[in-house]
Amino acid sequence: MRRANERALEADMREAFASMKTELESASLIFVSVSKVDARTIFNDKNPMLDRKDPRVRRVPFMTGRPTFNETRRVIGRLATVNLNVVEEEERLDEDADALAGLADTKFVIAAKPKPPPIEAPPEAEVEIIPEPELHAAARAGDSERVLHLLIEENADPTESYKGKLPYVVSKDRETRDAFRRAMAQKPDAWDWIGRAAVPSALTEELEAKKAAKEAEYEAARKEKEKERKKAQKERKKKQSAAAALLEKTAAPASSGVAEKKSAALVEQVDKVSNDRREQMVSVYVVIARFS
């Protein structure tokens, strides 16, 4: 089937070339764009459709698509187009060649590339070191007496911020924070204690008395609870000792009975071993008596 199709295609091609024989003979150039298989058919050595040695036969110098009518028109139009850029390129090359020939004897001096000016480093900005306020230092160290003295006697400012933190915030412990609250109770209108100093509330003598009473009550309750715990522990140990003593008394007869049973079993085992040895000796004597 394949060979039949190939023969039919070859016959169609020969018929087409025969119909264009007059045009092919009068053509100045013949452009061909075929595959390798079709090229063997066209330029067959025995009966070629075109002569391979014909100087008019040339390949299409660009890619082509399927052999349709529109594609044929496109190929013919492109082949018939004159590219003027080639002429201009040749003229430009001639001009460049003349210019290079004129510069053949010219001596060139290459100027040294200027060095960029050195970049000077900007002067270092002086950093101003701000010392820590005394109230901040005392609060950070946990010196509650010093904090109270500064607030009451020296009128230190509790709203002054150092490195973004207030003195009450950097207080080391609860006692130091209470110093701020005591100062607030003594000087309630001196500063904006709650808004700007971040002190939550004033610690008056009345509040301290209530606080001390609560702490004393809590301590008394704790001691009472500890006393009851120790008492319960003591009673528990006493009960454990009594139970252990009772257990020893009840276990004594049982242990003596077990000892008696063990002794009887041991005596029986010893008697059995003695009897076995006695029987062996009698057997030996009998054997000796027979041989003698």
| Cα gap 198→181, rounded to integer Å | 10
pTM: 0.38
pLDDT of residue 292: 39
Q: Is 152 exposed, middle or buried (0-12, 13-18, 19+ CB in 10 A)?
A: middle
| Cα gap 259→265, rounded to integer Å | 10
Tokens representing 85?
Answer: 């850029």
Contacts of 194 (CB under 8 A, 6+ apart): 200, 201
pLDDT tens for each residue of 226-242? 999 999 999 888 888 88
Q: Hey, which of 11-20, 179-188, 202-211 has the most confident mean pLDDT?
A: 179-188
pLDDT tens for each residue of 38-87? 777 777 767 777 777 778 887 778 788 887 888 888 888 887 887 765 54
Total Cβ atoms within 10 A of residue 8: 10
pLDDT of residue 284: 41
| Cα gap 114→278, rounded to integer Å | 130
Coil, strand or helix at 28? coil
Total Cβ atoms within 10 A of residue 255: 10
| Cα gap 22→76, rounded to integer Å | 19
pLDDT of residue 200: 92
Coil, strand or helix at 90? helix
pLDDT tens for each residue of 270-292? 456 555 655 554 444 333 334 43
| Cα gap 249→127, rounded to integer Å | 89
Domain ranges of the chain: 2-82, 134-203, 257-292
Q: What CA–CA distances, in Å, run from 76 to 31, 33, 64, 80, 192?
A: 9, 12, 11, 6, 98
pLDDT of residue 285: 38
Tokens representing 64?
Answer: 């082509």
pLDDT tens for each residue of 144-166? 999 999 999 999 999 999 999 99
Whole-number percent of the chain with pLDDT over 90 = 29
Answer for the pair 181, 203: CB distance below 8 angstroms, yes or no: yes
